[in-house]
Amino acid sequence: MANDLKFLVVDDFSTMRRIVRNLLKEIGYSEADEAEDGVVALNKLRNSSFDFVVSDINMPNMNGFQLLNEIKKDDKLKHLPVLMVTAEARKEDIVLAAQQGAAGYIVKPFTKATLEDKVNLILSKLGMK
């Protein structure tokens, strides 16, 4: 069941999108799409069905905080778990992400084990695994 979940990976660096997608595939989630910023992500989220969002913060056009805010404001999207994966390591950013409704926060550089732990933990909390 959980392996059928569809992920949206949002990051302005294509290398990082590819890494996250490959890691998700390695940990058992092969259904994933990509977006290079918050605007593209929001458009995809509103026009297709996703179960999980993995998002960077520092992006052009619409950053990760703005995307998170838009997702949580949208009645059709607010149930989506959003895991922030970012190089932003300020404590105030982590607190802000939590207050805005992020389901988890990973600082770059990270490991496969960290991503796997956080994704599985979030899915377990939501009863999706």
Partner 1 sequence: MNTGVPSSSEAAPLVLSQDVHQRIGTLTRQLHDSLSGLGLTDKVKIWAGEIPDAKSRLTYIARLTGEAAEKVLNNVDQAKAQHDFIAAETRRIGALIVKDPVAAVAKGHVMNFITDVEEATKHIDKNLTDIMMAQDFHDLTGQVISKVVNLAASIEQQLVQLLIFTAPTEAVNKPVETPAASPAATFVVHEHPVLQGPVVNPEANPDVVKGQSEVDDLLASLGF
Which residues would be at the binding site for partner 1 (CB under 8 A)?
11-13, 15-16, 19, 22-23, 26, 57-61, 63, 87-95, 98, 104-112, 114
Secondary structure of residue 87 in the 3-state scheme: coil
How far is C-alpha 28 from the chain's CA centre?
16
| Rounded least distance, CB 53 to partner 1, Å | 17
Place of tokens 């770059």: 108
Let me know how long the chain is. Answer: 129
Paired tokens of 30: 């092969």
Place of tokens 């805005």: 100
Pick 11 or 70: Cβ nearer partner 1: 11
Pick 70 or 93: Cβ nearer partner 1: 93
| Rounded least distance, CB 96 to partner 1, Å | 11
Peptide bond into 81 cis (omega under 30): no
Secondary structure of residue 48 in the 3-state scheme: coil
| Rounded least distance, CB 22 to partner 1, Å | 6
Pick 3 or 22: Cβ nearer partner 1: 22
Pick 73 or 108: Cβ nearer partner 1: 108
